[in-house]
Each structure stands twice: as C-alpha cells, then as structure tokens.
Structure 1
Amino acid sequence: PSFVLGGRAMEIVANETMLVKYLKNAVEVDEDKPVLIDKYLVGKEVEVDAICDGKEVFIPGIMELVERTGVHSGDSTSVYPPFSISEKVKETICDYTTRLGLGIGIVGLFNIQFIVAKDDSVYVIEVNPRASRSVPFLSKSTDQNLVTIATKVMLGESLEKQGITRLTPPEKTDRWYVKAPAFSFQKLDGMDAYLSPEMKSTGEAIGYDKSLNRAFFKALQASGIKMKDYGTVIVTLADEDKEEALPLIRRFYELGFNIEATIGTANFLKKHGIRTRVRGKLSEGSTEILDSIRAGYVSYIINTRAILSGVHYEDGVAIRRCAIQNGVTIFTSLDTVKILLDVLEETIPGISTINA
C-alpha cells in the first residue's frame, strides 16, 4: 500500500494470481487508499541520510545493506562505509541525492533508498523527506551530529554558516560500523519470522571494529543472535535458491557442522558431496524436522521460499514458528548466512568433518 510506514502489508507477488489474491485478502482498496505497484528488481540495496538547506545538500555517508532487495531496510544489516559498491556507483548516488533534495525543495533531513543492479545501474526506491531510523547509526559512524545540523537548518542556519563546506566528506577508513536488526518474535506470538518487505524488527544493535568480520560479530551477537561454532544446521531451500546456497552449506560442512535437510534439498546436497541426514516433510505427515529442532542440538536453520516463482509452502511457516519457540536461530536470507559464515570462519579453528 502507498499510505503506510514500515512496509506494512507490502508483499512481493510473482504472478497475476498472487496479485489478485493479495488485493482480495491483504489490503483494503478504495479511492482514498490506492495500492502502489512497483517492479521488483533484484540488486544490492543502499541507503543515504542527507541534509538539504534549500541551496546545498550535505551527504555525510552512504550505507550498504547486506540483504538484497526484498527485505525491508529496517530488517537488514547495514554497513558503513560501503563494502562492495564501486566509486562510480557512489558518485551516482551522491549526484541523485543532491538533485532530488534540491529538486523536491527539502529543508532538513531526508532519506533515500537505492537499488544497485549488477551492471552498476542505480535506481531510486523511495525518497523520505524526514529523519530515518538510520540517522543515529550514521551520526555515530561519521562523528556528525545530524539531528543538530538539521535542526539548525530548519531554523534558518545554512550549512555554510554552520561551517560545513565539504558536502561529501571522505569515508572513514580506520573502522567498520555495522547495524544489525533485533527481533522480538518470541514475544510477538503468531508473527512469521520470514523477512520480507514488511518490517518486523523491534530494535537494533551496533558493532564497530577495524575488522569488518569482527564488527559483524559484535553487531550480530549484540542483536541477540546465538553465535554457535558447532552443532547441526537444518536446511530447507526453495529450488531457485539451491545453486546459490550450495557453497554456503559446504562451508558449514567444512567447519564441522552436521547437516539435516528435507528430501529435495538433501538429495541436491548429497549429489554435490555434502553428507546430509534426510528429514521427512511436514506436509507428508512427518514431524522429524520439528523433533530435531525441539531436541536442542540444532544451531541454525536456513529456510528460504521462492520469491520469483511465488511457490510457498506451509511447512516453512511451521518450521520457523518451531524455531522461534525453541530459541533456534533462523535465517531466511542467504546474504545474512554468508556474513555469519565469514565471521565463523575467522573465529573457528580448522575442523575436518568425519565422513564415517
């Protein structure tokens, strides 16, 4: 819907059938509450908080989100300075931010979210003419009190009068800053833990360090994620995610984790040389996967669903609910899994899985 905050009731639909179902069941549609339809683009998401005084635009920094488009920015892990986008993309983002701030006529803080495609094309998702939840994070990361600067601008004191002459200051190079979302799924009974365009986080934590992986470790741990370096990983993957997930699951395996999976995922992993224990599907009457979660030896669950095909299964909802009830860390984005592995590989001594 076009009239909400936090992505409320926002959804990615893969086909016309899903769109019709969404319009019938998910939202109230009338002339005063139009439904906004955008094309879903796969890419990196980047965020900017800036201040415009009507004549100039101050861009203290650019934040790169770990999770690709499709996950609400408030539920994404955010990094300053950006860790993978090119200088060309940064220049384009600063150019668009300046032109939009001046063109709209904003006086004060504003936030822009961008998509960066594989070919480095930059698209604007939205411009919010207000302070964003990321302002405290960027203020701490850049040592710029953005609220004070913006307040003075709104009261008539220009950026120049405040002594701000470098409108795009150089990025910090001595430290990495990571903002990780914190969730309260155990307290919010019935909420699905699957990350989507609808925001579900209830807080956030910040970690910083000279090492990016250590900054990730601090932020993830502070946000409530149990960083275990042993145990079992349960994997249930949508078909469209299996190829991308394969090297990630192999990394868990090589770190010494046991792997369990439902039949389709298990066969795929076995075919590629990863020893996997098969667990029956809930939809076929088996409770094996829930029994494993309840037994207490599962460290992580990786559960994805098909965004592009629109095929979703109720099994995933039950698995995610069981994970939350039993305090097991669950990941629904492969991008988050990758940073977890980066952290674990830096902190765990080398272990060879026994193929007995």
Structure 2
Amino acid sequence: MQHPVLLDKYLQGMEVEIDAISDGTEILVPGIMEHVERAGVHSGDSIAVTPPINLNNHMKQTVLDYTKRLAKALKIKGMINLQFVIQNNCVYLIEVNPRSSRTVPFLSKVTKTPMVQIATEAAMGKTLCEQGVRCDFMPRSDIYAVKVPVFSFSKLIEVETSLGPEMKSTGETIGLDESYPKALYKGLVSSGLAIPADGNILVTIADKDKDEAIPVIRELWELGYSIFATEGTANALKRAGVLVTQVSKINEKSPNLLDLIQQEKIHLVINTPAKGKQPKRDGFRIRRAAVESGVHCVTSMDTARAVLEVLKTISFKITSL
C-alpha cells in the first residue's frame, strides 16, 4: 500500500495486564493484574490489583490463552508484557511488548517469583523445565496486592494533574492484605493519599460523567461527608436527594471554590476534566489549586469509586494521616 491508513477505536472497558516469561515453547505467568481505572489511563498511572477481582474464569482463560499463543508465535525467549481491554465479556489485545515492564518488580515481590533471574536464564537458552520452574499460571490467592502510583505534581509548576494516555507517575507503592479494600487502603495511604475520616468534599463533575458520579457522591454523603459543588453539579445532586452546599465558580463572588481550597476548608476534591486541559480553564485551575494546597484531587471516577469502597469497608476509624 502506497499510503497506509491507521484506524483505531476507543473501547471503554476494563484493562488487564500480564507479565510472562517464555522459553520459546513453555510459558510462566506469575499473575494477572487488573487495572482499577478503565482503558484510556496509562498503565503506569493506573491502580492495579492481583489477583483480579472482577475477572470471571472465561476472561482469565482467554487472556492466558492469548498470552501463550502470542509468546509462542513471536518466539519469545525471556520476558513479555501484554495489555488487554475487556468490553462486554470480549477480550481485545491492546499491545504486546517483548521486554520487561515496570510491573515486573511488583509482580515478582507479591508472587515470590524471581522473574528477572528466570527470564535471563530463558533468554540464554535454558528452558523453564531445566530451571525447575513450574510452567503455566501460578495465581497467589492468599493475599491481595495493590499497586498504587505516586505523583510529584506538587513539585512541578503548572503541570496538568488529570490522568490520560501520557504517563505522569514518578513511582509506585504496594499495599498487601488478605482483604482487597484494606490492601487498597494501605497502597493509597503509602502513596500519599490522606483519606479523611470526615470533612468536606468539593465535587465539580463534567456533564458526561454526572450519571456515573452521582451514586458515588451520594454514598460519600451518606457516610457523613459534607458535599460542596458548583452550580451544575449541585443541581444534579439536589435532584438526586443529596444535601449539597453550592459554591461560587472561579471569578465569581467570594468565597468561591478556590478560596475554600486555599483556606483549607476542603479535604478532598473530585474533579473530572470537561473541555480540555489548558491552564486558563477552570478545571485546570481547580486541580492545580488542590495540589498546591496539599489537598488530594481525584480526576477519575474509577479512582473515586475505589476510594469509596475503602471508606465503606474499612471498619476501623481513620485518624489524621
């Protein structure tokens, strides 16, 4: 073809990631990682959990089958990383990387598998069998491990904080526990997200996200949090029966939402981007004000739902963190 044309399509589904080791014939899969944030957020910026919590047996077997077939067809000897998206119970392949990935240290630690050593031996021609490694899938079901990204937005001036396809994290932490919510809680806290036991939450939600956001915000309100919102979001919440305090937008009368953030009257911000990420837009200024005031700002409803799950499930009282 003289002029190739690339066609792509966004699938709003659940993202799944696998790091595997192949000797060209046999394959070792220490674990499957499920991303909390849906496809569209860079895998390095996504919260990931292993073992997966929302994959049924058919989905697991499909991604494992695809992994084995691709590794064999590509004649991989060493590490291979694969990323999938699952929509309507169908598994789609996003990408295959014939190399190690940033999640190998995480998966090695939580599955107690020396992945780099095994992969190096395989790359040098030693089969998995010769290494005494049991092939196939090795799930660890006695403990949940959650990988949580760490960001350095407070140290970078005028950097957009909302998540997207560009990687922005500068590190990651691990939360381990027999309970998924507690493992998630440990990972969030160690990453720097101080989860308040009570207080004020400011929500400014894009129209496209309101239907999804309202049930989450309602449950936060029912847990005892005071909700503050700008006019559009406030009206939607009021129609849903949520008691909400309406606040002025930027450049409106004081105290407006920036005043509340800077005066430390807001303890958590939930903001989803609406019309771009230019520095002059209100959403950008809200997110930056939160970061610069030391207030955590959640920009994905998937992350907000994960935080809600922690707050609903953790039985002990969370003190200042």
User: Equivalents in 2 of 1:188, 1:63: separation in Å?
Assistant: 30
Contact 1:281 1:287 in 2 (8 A): no
Q: CA deviation at 1:227?
A: 1.4
Question: Does the 8 A contact of 1:179 with 1:219 survive in 2?
Answer: yes
Which deviations, in whole Å up to 9, do the C-alpha atoms of 1:110-153 show, x marking residues without a partner? 10010011x21001111111100000111112111100100111
The Cα of 1:294 is off from its aligned counterpart by 0.6
8 Å CA contact 2:238, 2:244 repeated in 1: yes
2:97 is aligned to 128
- 1:290 maps to a residue whose letter is L
Other-structure match for 2:120: 151
In 2, the alpha carbon distance for the partners of 1:105 and 1:151 equals 15
Confirm or deny: 8 A CA contact 1:229 1:348 kept in the other structure: no
The one-letter code sitting in structure 1 at the alignment partner of 2:239 is: K
Aligned partner of residue 113 in structure 1, secondary structure: strand
* Letter matched to residue 187 of structure 1: K
Q: CA–CA distance in 2 between the matches of 1:139 and 1:316?
A: 39
Where 2:31 maps in the other structure, the secondary structure is strand
The alignment-based identity, stated in percent, is 48
Would you say 1:193 and 2:149 are equivalent positions? no
Superposition misfits of 4+ residues, deviation over 3 angstroms: 34-37, 283-287, 310-313, 347-350
Shift of 1:347: 3.2
CA distance in 2, matches of 1:96, 1:132: 18
Runs (5+) with no aligned partner, structure 2:
none
Q: Does 1:44 align with 2:11?
A: no
TM-score (norm 2): 0.93
Letter in 2 for 1:155: M
1:290-313: CA deviation from partner (whole Å, max 9, x where unpaired) = 00101112111111124xxx6678
Q: Is the 8 A contact 2:49 2:146 kept in 1?
A: yes
Q: Residue type of the partner of 2:118?
A: I
1:92 maps to what in 2? 62
Q: Is it true that 1:344 corresponds to 2:306 in the alignment?
A: no
| Displacement of 1:37 | 5.7
Whether the aligned pair in 2 keeps the contact of 1:283 and 1:315 (CA below 8 Å) is no
How far the C-alpha of 1:70 sits from its partner, in A, is 1.0
* Larger CA deviation: 326-335 vs 274-283: 274-283
Say if 2:154 and 2:292, in contact at 8 Å, map to a contact too: yes
Structure 1 residue 285 displacement after superposition: 7.4
1:301 counterpart SS class: strand
What do the CA deviations read for 1:181-227 (whole angstroms, capped 9, x no partner)?
00000112221100001010000000100111110111000011111
Question: C-alpha root-mean-square deviation of aligned residues, in Å?
Answer: 2.0
* 1:208-267 Cα distance to aligned partner (Å, 9 max, x none): 001111101110000111111111111111111111111110111111111111100000
SS at match of 1:282: coil
Query: Could you tell me whether the CA contact under 8 Å between 2:204 and 2:270 is conserved in 1?
Result: yes
CA contact (8 A) 2:181 2:314 kept: no
Give the 3 Å change call, closer, same or farther, for CA 230–51 of structure 1 in structure 2.
same
Correspondence for 1:160: 129
TM-score, normalised to structure 1's length? 0.84
Correspondence list, 1:266-285, <5 A: 266-282=234-250
